[in-house]
Amino acid sequence: MSLKTRSMTRPKVVLAYSGGLDTSVAIPWLSEKGMDVVAVTVDVGQPVDLETVRRKAEASGAVRAYVTDARREFAEEFITPALRANALYEGMYPLSTALARPLIARHLVEVARREGASFVAHGCTGKGNDQVRFDLSTTSLAPELEVIAPAREWKMTRDEEIAYAKSHRIPVEATKASPYSVDENLWGRSVECGVLEDPAVEPPEEVYGWTRSPTEAPETPTYVTVGFEQGEPATLDGQRAPFHETILRLNEIAGRNGVGRIDHVESRVVGIKSREVYECPAAVVLLGAHQALEALVEPRDVLDFKRTVEQRYSQLIYDGLWFAPLRAALDAFVSSTQERVTGEVTVKLYKGSARVTGRQSPYSLYQEALATYSKGDRFRQEMSEGFIYVWGLPARTWSAIGAKPPAQVRRAPQHPP
């Protein structure tokens, strides 16, 4: 879009501000284009001093800077539905960054309306997924707002951004020697850029911040027990706490045991492949535990169909369509499947692995008297022969007909035109 002012009054833009390189550079860049910048930092669990971030935004030229604590909102309204849907993009990525974007966009829209702003801005580049998520979430909630993405327009390289920041006396953590781009929230930590851009290179240990190397993890395994109520984590080792606090605790416990590292070459929305490194300790543990409990209490046909829904649900999140009608409709189905997903699951954490070792539920479909091969077996094995006969009838009929020689086909007589 054009950044020319529409009148003599400077237009107001609400910027999603993280304090990182791109958004730090965006404040003076937008200001130089004739706009008043209102910075909004949404606390979704990123381990930074948010008051320092607020002061940095003002020092960088923002006319106002807001900080909002949305950790509980993030855990209960975004992570919980995704967990109940076992949301894993391409079967690997727990969608940590993707889940936070619609929440941040919702707060941007609220501030924009409060401030009377006509624009919302973010620090995403034209190559990434987050631009799609911010743009679509914002316009879904407030079609009247225009979205600006300075990094799509300024065409600066990362090194040039660093130089621009220094020329405007803006301190940034990224340097030419350490060029990683990092995003963190309750549900995970993502790292890209630098040597990670070569998918053939093993990620160096320096890129990890939440997880201990599995080779350096404790020699003794750690066991955790997660209690679920209707698909939602309710307790950890018998202790009840707000979900966002449980996530933080699990991130620490599982990360200490080397659990949660994901090295993924994924298919971005814009059509390119990208190598991403994620650390999602709590997500890996909770998703595995939730799937194990569902396997215990759900019938096979429900599990099979739900896997199809989970794949589509995950793609909607990844593609920035959280506020789409389909996601809400799928949520209704997922919620209906969670009525009996109540019980406890024990997970063994050991040197990078998280393995379910036990599960129990008052709604368990596992019946020892039916499954056992020992005394007390109540399964009527003599009934299986008739069941197999009927179950296999379509396949036998198909094969029997196919085994016959083809019948002679009589051709219709040909008449001259």
User: Could you list the active site residues?
Assistant: 22, 101, 130, 181
Amino acid at 113: R
* Helix or strand run (H / E) with residue 32: helix 21-32
**C-alpha atoms less than 13 angstroms from C-alpha of 199 in its C-beta half-sphere:** 8
Closest CA to 270 of 215, 327, 201, 319: 319
Cα gap 135→145, rounded to integer Å:
10
Closest CA to 80 of 198, 240, 246, 323: 246
As given in the structure block, the two tokens for residue 70 are 């949305």
Separation of CA 201 from chain center: 25
| Those residues with Cβ within 8 angstroms of residue 344's Cβ, 6 or more apart along the chain or in another chain | 225, 226, 227, 228, 235, 359, 360, 361
Closest CA to 288 of 209, 188, 234, 357: 357
| Those residues with Cβ within 8 angstroms of residue 167's Cβ, 6 or more apart along the chain or in another chain | none
Strand locations in 47-143 (E): 64-69, 119-121
| Those residues with Cβ within 8 angstroms of residue 252's Cβ, 6 or more apart along the chain or in another chain | 281
| Those residues with Cβ within 8 angstroms of residue 100's Cβ, 6 or more apart along the chain or in another chain | 42, 44, 74, 78, 185, 187
Sheet containing strand 181-185, edge to edge, reads 181-185, 188-192, 273-279, 261-267
DSSP letter string, 292-338:
HHHHHHS-HHHHHHHHHHHHHHHHHHHTT-TTSHHHHHHHHHHHHHT
